[in-house]
């Protein structure tokens, strides 16, 4: 059994309630921090823990907290990013739905550390049934004296509010999220000058952290940062929630110790339980739809032939030539019947739909890529379309206000790099691919050999 930090109590009956959460030792980290520690000491423990942002970018959390200027003469805000809309990712929902007090406890600690007296949870609006769950948990924490004025007599005060999004992927990007929280369209802001830590919500210093990141803080305060850093491998400390989906026997949310071999994650019955229907593995998108896709051989082993591990570093090994990213931990598995072109067309349509439209390379480029992919997938592709796609992707990458442009370009470049055979097949056999289930009828065995268990 792997070490459980976040999910250890998730199956305790009644853990949704304050009473049971408290009985399991909940809120003891708040007692420890508010009674025995200074805000700086809390931040120091988070630094020592090596915790990296779990929202996708993997930025060191403790370091990020030190960017907050507490002495700007303005209020400081904590905003929890619960927008969770990166395709393939559903782990924050698991925490929000089942163990809301863990997030609240983490938010109290983080707010204390950065000097915030108001915190917002920006949650995607579709999670309608979770709003009452969170609101009830907040009310319980308040009634128990862990929220409100002068918490535990420490002089520190905090209110937490839940705010619904409106259905827009881009609002997961932190500056778009802040615009949205101000009641505007979710258009990302330019950095500089709008670094949230300096000019965030209402132009005040603001810390934006992911649900899972914040929910990890109680464990760090309880066990100490150095002890937490012993979990995991190298700079990938701790545990990570992985959302596993696609063609596997056991989809779901798994807490893994960072460093677990990818092969074990896919094939062990403790995790994904292998590929469904006894089929072979064709490809994996390891960190949410935005990261490069890898064929079976490269997800299981690096180009150097070493076992690929579930860590920030190992997944990135080989750069974009032969590696990918851990991202948000949205692990999407594709079996031998999957059409890479169809899947890519689907993702590209998603990015086109979700582009806020501010930058022309992103707005127009995603539209072009969608159009070209649509025609290839529907048997109307032209021989130069593959290079055209690659070219458009390159013209988006790195040329936009926010990273959504890159997120749309990387899947395209990587799919062409690793699965050119799939694209060429579509152009060569237009009649065959007009049946949307073409590769279910006749799997394409491409250069990148399929993996067997």
Partner 1 sequence: MMNNQPKYSPTFSADTLALVQRIIARYPEGKQKSALLPVLHLAQAEFGGWLSPETMDYVASLLGIQPIEVYEVATFYTMFNLKPVGKCVLEVCRTGPCMLRGSDDIIEHLQKKLNIRDGETSADGMFTLKSVECLASCGTAPVMQVGNHYIENLTCENLDGILDRIRSENESKT
Ligand X SMILES: Cc1cc2nc3c(=O)[nH]c(=O)nc-3n(C[C@H](O)[C@H](O)[C@H](O)COP(=O)(O)O)c2cc1C
Cβ-Cβ contacts under 8 Å for 57 (sequence gap 6 or more): none
Asked whether position 397 contacts ligand X by CB under 6 A, the answer is no
- Of 363, 375, 417, 420, which one interacts with ligand SF4 (CB under 6 A)? 363
Question: Is the bond into 190 cis (omega within 30 degrees of 0)?
Answer: no
- Of 165, 172, 225, 365, which one interacts with ligand X (CB under 6 A)? 172
Cβ distance to partner 1 smaller for residue 228 or 410: 410
Kindly list the distances between the CA atom of residue 11 and the CA atoms of 7, 102, 137, 415, in Å, as whole numbers in the listed order.
8, 14, 17, 39
Cβ distance to ligand SF4 smaller for residue 175 or 216: 175
Give phi and psi for 197, each to the nearest 5.
-60, -25
Task: Using the structure block, give the residue that is written with the tokens 């059409």.
Answer: 339
Which 24-53 residues touch ligand X, going by CB under 6 A?
53
Residue 27 binding target from ligand SF4, ligand X, partner 1, none, CB below 5 to 8 Å by type: none
Tokens for 294, please give them. Answer: 């890898």
**How many whole angstroms separate alpha carbon 388 and alpha carbon 368?**
10
User: Is-contact 169 191, C-beta < 8 A?
Assistant: no
Candidates 374, 408, 375, 376; CA nearest to 392 is 408
Site mask, partner 1, residues 198-227, x = CB under 8 A? Answer: ----x-------------------------
Site mask, partner 1, residues 162-181, x = CB under 8 A? Answer: -xxxxxxx----------xx
Residue 213 binding target from ligand SF4, ligand X, partner 1, none, CB below 5 to 8 Å by type: ligand X
Residue ranges of alpha helices (H) inside 157-310 are: 174-181, 196-199, 211-223, 225-229, 262-267, 296-300
Cβ distance to partner 1 smaller for residue 250 or 395: 250
H or E stretch including 362?
A: helix 360-377
Tokens for 230, please give them. Answer: 């012993």
Candidates 378, 371, 374, 372; CA nearest to 433 is 378
Which 376-405 residues touch ligand SF4, going by CB under 6 A?
400-402, 404-405
- Of 151, 256, 334, 372, which one interacts with partner 1 (CB under 8 A)? 334
Cβ-Cβ contacts under 8 Å for 317 (sequence gap 6 or more): 302, 303, 304, 306, 308, 323
Asked whether position 319 contacts partner 1 by CB under 8 A, the answer is no
Cβ distance to ligand SF4 smaller for residue 182 or 442: 182
Return the half-sphere exposure (C-beta side, CA atoms, 13 A cut-off) of residue 202.
9
What's CA 241's distance to the chain center, in Å? 9
Residue 56 binding target from ligand SF4, partner 1, ligand X, none, CB below 5 to 8 Å by type: ligand X
Site mask, partner 1, residues 259-298, x = CB under 8 A? Answer: --------------------------x---x---------
Candidates 399, 402, 391; CA nearest to 368 is 391
**How many whole angstroms separate alpha carbon 342 and alpha carbon 175?**
32
What's CA 294's distance to the chain center, in Å? 18
Cβ distance to ligand X smaller for residue 302 or 414: 414
Cβ distance to ligand X smaller for residue 90 or 425: 90
Number of residues that bind ligand X (CB under 6 A): 23
Asked whether position 365 contacts ligand SF4 by CB under 6 A, the answer is no
The gap between the terminal CA atoms of the chain, to the nearest Å, is 21
- Of 86, 105, 336, 390, which one interacts with ligand X (CB under 6 A)? 86
Residue 125 binding target from ligand X, partner 1, ligand SF4, none, CB below 5 to 8 Å by type: partner 1
Return the half-sphere exposure (C-beta side, CA atoms, 13 A cut-off) of residue 116.
29
- Of 170, 219, 309, 373, which one interacts with ligand SF4 (CB under 6 A)? 170
Asked whether position 105 contacts partner 1 by CB under 8 A, the answer is no
Closest separation in Å from C-beta 156 to ligand X: 22
Tokens for 419, please give them. Answer: 């699965």
Residue 53 binding target from ligand SF4, partner 1, ligand X, none, CB below 5 to 8 Å by type: ligand X
Asked whether position 125 contacts partner 1 by CB under 8 A, the answer is yes
- Of 4, 28, 66, 85, which one interacts with partner 1 (CB under 8 A)? 85
Angle at 265 between CA 264 and CA 269, to 5 degrees: 80
Give the residues lining the site for partner 1 (CB under 8 A).
Answer: 75, 84-90, 92-93, 118, 120, 124-129, 161, 163-169, 180-186, 202, 243-247, 251-253, 285, 289, 330, 332, 334, 338, 342-343, 346-347, 350, 353-354, 436
Give the residues lining the site for ligand SF4 (CB under 6 A).
Answer: 170, 188, 355-359, 362-363, 400-402, 404-405
């Amino acid at each position: 059994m792997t070490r459980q930090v976040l999910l250890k109590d998730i199956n305790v009956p009644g853990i949704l309630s304050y009473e049971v959460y408290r009985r399991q030792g909940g809120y003891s980290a708040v007692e420890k921090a508010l009674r025995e520690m200074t805000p700086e000491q809390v931040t120091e423990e988070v630094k020592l823990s090596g915790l990296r942002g779990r929202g996708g970018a993997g930025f060191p959390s403790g370091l990020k907290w030190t960017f907050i200027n507490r002495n700007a003469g303005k209020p400081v805000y904590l905003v929890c990013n619960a927008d969770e809309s990166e395709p393939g990712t559903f782990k924050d929902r698991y925490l929000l739905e089942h163990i809301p007090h863990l997030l609240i406890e983490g938010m109290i600690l983080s707010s204390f550390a950065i000097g915030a007296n108001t915190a917002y949870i920006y949650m995607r609006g579709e999670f309608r049934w979770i709003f009452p769950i969170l609101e009830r948990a907040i009310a319980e924490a308040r009634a128990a004296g862990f929220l409100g004025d002068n918490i535990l007599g420490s002089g520190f005060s905090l209110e937490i509010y839940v705010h619904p999004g409106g259905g827009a992927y881009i609002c997961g990007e932190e500056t778009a999220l802040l615009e949205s929280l101000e009641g505007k369209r979710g258009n990302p802001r330019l950095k500089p000058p709008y670094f949230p830590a300096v000019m965030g919500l209402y132009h005040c210093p603001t810390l934006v952290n992911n649900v899972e990141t914040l929910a990890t803080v109680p464990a760090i305060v309880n066990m100490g940062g150095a002890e937490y850093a012993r979990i995991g491998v190298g700079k990938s400390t701790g545990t990570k929630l992985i959302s596993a989906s696609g063609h596997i026997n056991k989809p779901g949310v798994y807490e893994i110790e960072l460093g677990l071999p990818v092969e074990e994650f896919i094939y062990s019955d403790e995790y994904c339980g292998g590929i469904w229907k006894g089929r072979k593995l064709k490809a994996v998108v390891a960190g949410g739809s935005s990261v490069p896709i890898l064929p079976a051989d490269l997800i299981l082993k690096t180009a150097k032939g070493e076992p690929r591990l579930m860590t920030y570093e190992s997944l990135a090994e080989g750069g974009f030539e032969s590696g990918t990213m851990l991202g948000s931990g949205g692990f999407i598995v594709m079996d031998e019947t999957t059409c890479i072109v169809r899947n890519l067309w689907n993702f590209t349509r998603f990015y086109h739909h979700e582009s806020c439209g501010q930058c022309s390379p992103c707005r127009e480029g995603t539209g072009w890529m969608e159009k070209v992919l649509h025609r290839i997938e529907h048997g109307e592709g032209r021989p130069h379309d593959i290079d055209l796609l690659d070219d458009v992707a390159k013209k988006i990458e790195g040329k936009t206000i926010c990273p959504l442009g890159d997120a749309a370009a990387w899947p395209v470049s990587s799919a062409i790099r690793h699965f050119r055979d799939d694209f060429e097949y579509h152009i060569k056999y237009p009649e065959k691919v007009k049946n949307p289930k073409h590769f279910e009828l006749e799997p394409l065995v491409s250069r990148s050999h399929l993996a067997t268990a």
